[in-house]
Structure 1
Amino acid sequence: MPDTPEAPRGADFLTEAEVAELLRIGRRTAERWRTTGDGPPWVRLGLRRVAYPRAAVLAWAEARTYPHRAAELAGKAAA
């Protein structure tokens, strides 16, 4: 079997179901976030196929991590 080229660094993509599992949310919630723009960045790979760069999903979640409720209300994510 011929050697296959390695995927470019950061090209690790997740399906919508995998994102839902990673974030512990429902798949319909992930779908809704994608359509409303509230969720992590995604990539269209075809007419009926979307994927999420793993690094972008983790960065999106990190930007919404707060040490306490007052920090969330003040809009200050944990550094």
Structure 2
Amino acid sequence: MRSLPVFKVLNLNADWPMRGQFAVIFCRNVVIYFDEPTRERLWGRLADKLESGGFLYVGHSEKVANPRQCGLEQVAPTIYRKAR
């Protein structure tokens, strides 16, 4: 199991080098530091990187303002799932 996860440091406002889609993305306690338009754009970009039915985990102080607009549904206070 330890060999499966991939951890990367990247600039969220720059082009992302990752290809394909992911079953789960953890983006915790970082988006709160951006202004609202940037947050909305980042939530959309993260949702685009999720495979259908994939999960996005956010920090306890974060909330996707319009999850349906990104194709997400909130399933717990800090967990969103991409629509199938």
TM (norm. structure 1) is 0.23
More strand as a share of residues:
2
Higher-helix-fraction structure: 1
Q: Which has the bigger relative contact order, CA under 8 A and spacing at least 6?
A: 2
Kindly name which structure, 1 or 2, has the bigger radius of gyration based on alpha carbons. 1
